[in-house]
Structure 1
Amino acid sequence: MSAVMITRKVRKWEKLPGKNTFCCDGRVMMARQKGVFYLTLFLIIGTCSLFFAFECPYLSLHLSPAIPVFAAVLFLFVMAMLLRTSFSDPGVLPRALPEEATFIEMEIEAANGNVPAGQRPPPRIRNVQINNQIVKLKYCYTCKIFRPPRASHCSICDNCVDRFDHHCPWVGNCVGKRNYRYFYLFTLSLSLLTIYIFTFDIVHVVMRSVDKGFLNTLKETPGTVLEVLVCFFTLWSVVGLTGFHTYLISLNQTTNEDIKGSWSGKNRIQNPYSHNNIIKNCCEVLCGPAYPSVLDRRGLMQEDPLVSATCAAPASSSSNPVPQTTKTTAPLIPNEHTPDEAKPGIAASAEKTPSPKEEQPPDTKIPPLATPETDAETSIAKDKTH
């Protein structure tokens, strides 16, 4: 019997913790909950398809052929920004290795000292100075790390994300340091596309109503009515979201910081990341360097050995099989119900157990047992002698 070692290449994304899904050999990274993302794709693609099918032929003929061209370019840009936001790493921070986690725990215990029984230990916080201002770094009990400034743990993806803004179910991913600018460009371009389609839907209805009347136009173009309803209800939310993030970018602030009131609470702590200039803040957020991913999702890990056994039986093994015996070296453990005086002798008795040969007693001849008839005969003979 011989064994052959087979190794398999393992990518790091296969072993990453958290609640993310990976596709295309780790190139695509998303959250597990993607139902709302599919709804976003359906609404954008469906509305634009209706616009290209019903309005664009009429408008390109009666107004300008540039209308469908500009709509197509805007649609492609929206889809590119959406997919770039949804399929990228938002800035997930790797968790601490067991050795690193143990070292951090030792540092925390040494810093806090011995906590008396019944008292709550102090919070695990480190202070760093940024732009002459103290910023607290909180400890993540899941990732076993002190989170960098502006990082937070996403409860949906179960990962710490650098410069965490929020988890957006509409894009099916977290929004953080590495994909925030693409998310903002997606909302901005989607607002322009929604306004563009809504405006030319109204123009299309007005131009047709001049010749055929308003009611007849609505009957002939049911797709236009559906587009107007979809654009009307989505316009306010998309445009409002774009305006809110424009406000945050001008202050160099995240949605998470705005909700918690990190820089506008009772303490009135000044935002250490703001340059006190709208143009500088916008340039830093939208035009800053592209940060690489720290996960190295497609990197190779230690290969997992897979052992496959191949039968190579010799000729002698088939004729004279040798029985296999197993030896147990584990010591006997006394049972809880064993009497105390009997416990010390268990191990000794196990060691002095005789072999099978010693257990057989020596051969002894046992006389046959007497039957009742023979006993009576012997008693009669004795009486005669007397």
Structure 2
Amino acid sequence: MSAVMITRKVRKWEKLPGKNTFCCDGRVMMARQKGVFYLTLFLIVGTCALFFAFECPYLAVHLSPTIPVFAALLFLFVLAMLLRTSFSDPGVLPRALPEEASFIEMEIEAANGNVPAGQRPPPRIRNVEINNQIVKLKYCYTCKIFRPPRASHCSICDNCVDRFDHHCPWVGNCVGKRNYRYFYLFTLSLSLLTIYIFTFNIVHVVMRSVDNGFLNTLKETPGTVLEVLVCFFTLWSVVGLTGFHTYLISLNQTTNEDIKGSWSGKNRVQNPYSHKNMIKNCCEVLCGPTYPSVLDRRGLMQLSPVSEFSANDTDASPCSSSTDSSNSSKTLPSTKRAILCLHKPRPPPIRNNPTSDDLKASITDTAHTSPAHSQAEESSAAKTPPLATPETDAEASVAKSH
């Protein structure tokens, strides 16, 4: 029987501490709360399906065949931007390892010194200079790191996200450094698609009302009425959201910074990331480089080794006799014999320093077995005095007293 150490390799996404869900072996990364994302997908697909079923056949014949073609291209682009935003890593920062976290804690304690009892320790902040302006880096107590500039901790996903904009439940993911441009393109294309469908719904109703009347047209096309209602209520929110993010992009600012008033507070601190030019700011946000993910979700990592016992049925058990091993090998499997062998009682250990009682017992046993041997021992004992122990001295003192 021998112990075999087995190391199992798993993907890193299986051990990430954040509140995210992964699919397709770590290729798809989303938040756990995905109910609103499914609602968004249902509204987009359902509205476009009604438009292609009711309006497009009539408009393609009576107005232009390019209307359904352009609507299909716009729909596919909206769907692609939505999935790209929802299924990608928004820029999650990895947490510090235990060794790194302890080193950072030691640095903070050394910098702050001993804090008297009853006083709060100073805030954990580091200052860096960006474009001749001091920017404060805050310490994250959850991730055990000093967050980079413009990064923030998302309470829903429980992760620090680089250039954190906001957590959007409609896309089921955070919006950050790696997926912000796709989020903006999604809102922009969705606004165009909503306006496009709403406009041609009105055109379709007007063209059919000329021949059949307005009320008869509404009765004949119930899908058109449903589309008009959905587009009317979603048009204002989607177009307003697109306009708000267009304003933020022109200033090179995030939603989180705008809500907190980071660059428009009491101190009137200027935005160090703005180029003072709307075109340059838009080009940096929308046309800048694509940043790689720093998580390495699909990388391999080794778990702690696990020991397993492997035994051969033909080998004899080292703690049993030949007869026991032959009989047990026929009745018990190897793993059970190994367990019984481990639980078998062991002989008592041999004492290194025997007591006087042990010496007396050994002398009496040898006296009964061989008289010649006992005589030899007595002669040798007469030549060499016995060892004095505390017990023998006590016995001698008791004998003298009697």
TM-score by length of 1: 0.83
Distance 1:277 1:60 in 2: 44
State the Cα distance separating 1:308 from its structure 2 match: 4.0
SS at match of 1:53: helix
Distance 2:171 2:133 in 1: 35
Structure 1 segment 1-386 matched on structure 2, within 5 A? 1-313=1-313, 314-315=315-316, 317=320, 319-320=323-324, 324-325=344-345
Amino acid at match of 1:319: T
SS at match of 2:301: coil
Percent identity, aligned pairs only, is 88
State the Cα distance separating 1:78 from its structure 2 match: 0.3
State the Cα distance separating 1:303 from its structure 2 match: 4.7
* 1:2/1:309 contact within 8 Å kept: yes
Amino acid at match of 1:78: V
* 1:9/1:304 contact within 8 Å kept: no
Distance 2:65 2:7 in 1: 60
Amino acid at match of 1:250: S
Amino acid at match of 1:215: L
SS at match of 1:301: strand
Query: Deviations 1:18-59 (Å, cap 9, x if unpaired)?
Result: 100111111000000000000000000000000000000000
Distance 2:3 2:65 in 1: 71
* 1:10/1:304 contact within 8 Å kept: no
State the Cα distance separating 1:213 from its structure 2 match: 0.6
Distance 2:126 2:346 in 1: 56
Amino acid at match of 2:285: V
Distance 2:111 2:21 in 1: 38
The CA RMSD over aligned residues, in Å, is: 2.4
CA shift in 2, pair 1:169/1:320, >3 Å:
same
Distance 1:67 1:309 in 2: 71
- 2:329 alignment partner in structure 1: none
CA shift in 2, pair 1:262/1:57, >3 Å:
same
Distance 1:102 1:164 in 2: 26
Amino acid at match of 2:243: G
State the Cα distance separating 1:144 from its structure 2 match: 0.3
Query: Deviations 1:63-87 (Å, cap 9, x if unpaired)?
Result: 1110000000000000000000000
Q: Which structure 1 segments of 5+ residues have no match?
A: 328-351, 361-386
State the Cα distance separating 1:300 from its structure 2 match: 1.2
Amino acid at match of 2:216: N
- 2:388 alignment partner in structure 1: none
* 2:8/2:302 contact within 8 Å kept: no
Distance 2:16 2:215 in 1: 59
Give every structure 1 segment of 4 or more consecutive aligned residues whose post-TM-superposition deviation is greater than 6 Å: none
* 1:2/1:312 contact within 8 Å kept: no
Amino acid at match of 2:247: Y
Distance 1:75 1:272 in 2: 38
The farther-off stretch of 294-303 and 114-123 is 294-303
Amino acid at match of 1:320: D
Considering fraction of residues, name the structure with more helix: 2
Distance 1:326 1:183 in 2: 71
State the Cα distance separating 1:302 from its structure 2 match: 2.0
* 1:108/1:124 contact within 8 Å kept: yes
State the Cα distance separating 1:10 from its structure 2 match: 1.0
State the Cα distance separating 1:7 from its structure 2 match: 3.8
Distance 1:149 1:64 in 2: 51
Distance 1:116 1:8 in 2: 48
